[in-house]
Amino acid sequence: MKKGPLNILYLGDSAQGTTSLQRCMALRSLGHRVTMADSAPRSIGLLHRVDDWLYRKGFSGMGHRSPATNRQIRQELGRRVFDLLWIDKGIYITPETIAAAKAANPGLLVLGYSPDYMAARHNNSRWFIAHSASYDLFVTTKSYAVEWHKAIGTKDVLFVGNAYDPATHRPMRIAAATRKALGGPVGFIGFYEAPRAEAVAYLGAHGVPTKVYSPGWDTSSPAPGVTVVARPLFGDDYAKAINAFDINLCFLRAMNLDVQTQRSVEIPACGAFMLAERTAEHQGLFKEGIEADFFSSKEELLSKCRFYLANPAVRKRVALAGYRRCLRSGYSNQARMEKMIEHLLGSVRGRGKGR
């Protein structure tokens, strides 16, 4: 493998506000020449909708998105020579496409990445399982998934913590009127899960006003003291809302067995106060009560919300320390991805592969 900037074909979701696009931009900011191919072609066709529905239910579906996605890769490979094929959660990529990519580009390296727990049925596909042995490196943000990836044939697996995008997740000045409209005392931005809804309802019932941004939250019986805004937030809107809340809740996704998640670092990177579920990995990312704070029960969650709402100076001091920890410990996309590239090239040199 040559030294210096790499020619990278990056396959990922290119929609504005996605973490996939943020990672692509981070590679460009590191000086690499990156061509992006969209892994999520936008279509409103019936077959695509049925396929997506089947996938969300845990089935591989019929593969109607797969041909367009694989065709993009082959087309790009026909236009120029690449050093690295970066595949962001490649659930629609066939083994034949990766084999063709390596045949067209002798010495091509293939790096896979996913922020999700790929062992969970709702996150993988028959194509992903079949092509996993083709990766020169697979990067996961789930420490407990490393052995699973190795078990399905991935030759090298690297655990890297979650990351934030400095261009998006940053401290922002929020006007008082905007803060009132967008934020509030306590907020949560994320998908619905029953334990999350129960915890939020508990806060509302005990006099702690809480606002939730979620397109899938169950609003059939609104909880007292809880406001649900039934829409997602991306990009600057997401960062503004985080900055507009006094306390940002960080719930983990039970169905993914999370012990840390994207918002675990995105909230502190905004210079905002984070109150998260207590795990060993969260405690490793931030010092408890100093750079963020944690809870293990709804009673502890309520107690800490009341304390920090009543002590804004303490809350702001913790938020600032959390922000500084993000900078000091290299939690940005750029720092994380530089580590991934270095690991990949080091492993390749160790195996005697490359140009």
Tell me the domain boundaries of the chain: 7-163+332-351, 176-328
- In this predicted structure, what is the pLDDT of residue 44? 47
- Rounded to an integer, what distance in angstroms lies between the CA atom of residue 222 and that of residue 254? 22
Residue whose entry in the numeric block shows the structure tokens 């019929």: 62
Task: Spell out, as residue ranges, where the chain has pLDDT lower than 70.
Answer: 1-3, 40-66, 352-355
Compute φ and ψ for 88, nearest 5 degrees: -90, 110
- In this predicted structure, what is the pLDDT of residue 80? 87
- Rounded to an integer, what distance in angstroms lies between the CA atom of residue 99 and that of residue 196? 43
- In this predicted structure, what is the pLDDT of residue 5? 93
- Rounded to an integer, what distance in angstroms lies between the CA atom of residue 88 and that of residue 229? 30
CA angle in degrees (0–180, nearest 5) for 120-188-59? 20
One CATH from 2.40.50.140, 3.40.50.2000, 3.40.50.720, 3.30.565.10 for 7-163+332-351: 3.40.50.2000
Can you give the chain as a three-state secondary structure string?
CCCCCCEEEEEECCCCCCHHHHHHHHHHHCCCEEEEEECCCCCCCHHHHHHHHHHHCCCCCCCCCHHHHHHHHHHHHHHCCCCEEEEECCCCCCHHHHHHHHHHCCCCEEEEEECCCCCCCCCCCHHHHHHHHHCCEEEECCHHHHHHHHHCCCCCEEECCCCECCCCCCCCCCCHHHHHHHCEEEEEECCCCHHHHHHHHHHHHCCCCEEEECCCCCCCCCCCCEEEECCCCCHHHHHHHHHHEEEEEECCCHHHCCCCCHHHHHHHHCCCCEEEECCHHHHHHCCECCCEEEECCHHHHHHHHHHHHHCHHHHHHHHHHHHHHHHHCCCEHHHHHHHHHHHHHHHHHHHCCCC
Residues 196/179, Cβ–Cβ less than 8 Å: no
Shared fold status for 7-163+332-351 and 176-328:
yes
- Rounded to an integer, what distance in angstroms lies between the CA atom of residue 297 and that of residue 263? 19
The CATH superfamily assigned to 176-328 is Glycogen Phosphorylase B; (3.40.50.2000)
Compute φ and ψ for 131, nearest 5 degrees: -100, 0
Question: CB under 8 Å to 28, separation ≥6 — which residues?
Answer: 34
Q: Kindly report the pTM of this predicted structure.
A: 0.90
- Rounded to an integer, what distance in angstroms lies between the CA atom of residue 355 and that of residue 350? 13
- Rounded to an integer, what distance in angstroms lies between the CA atom of residue 229 and that of residue 231? 6
Question: CB under 8 Å to 54, separation ≥6 — which residues?
Answer: 60, 61, 62
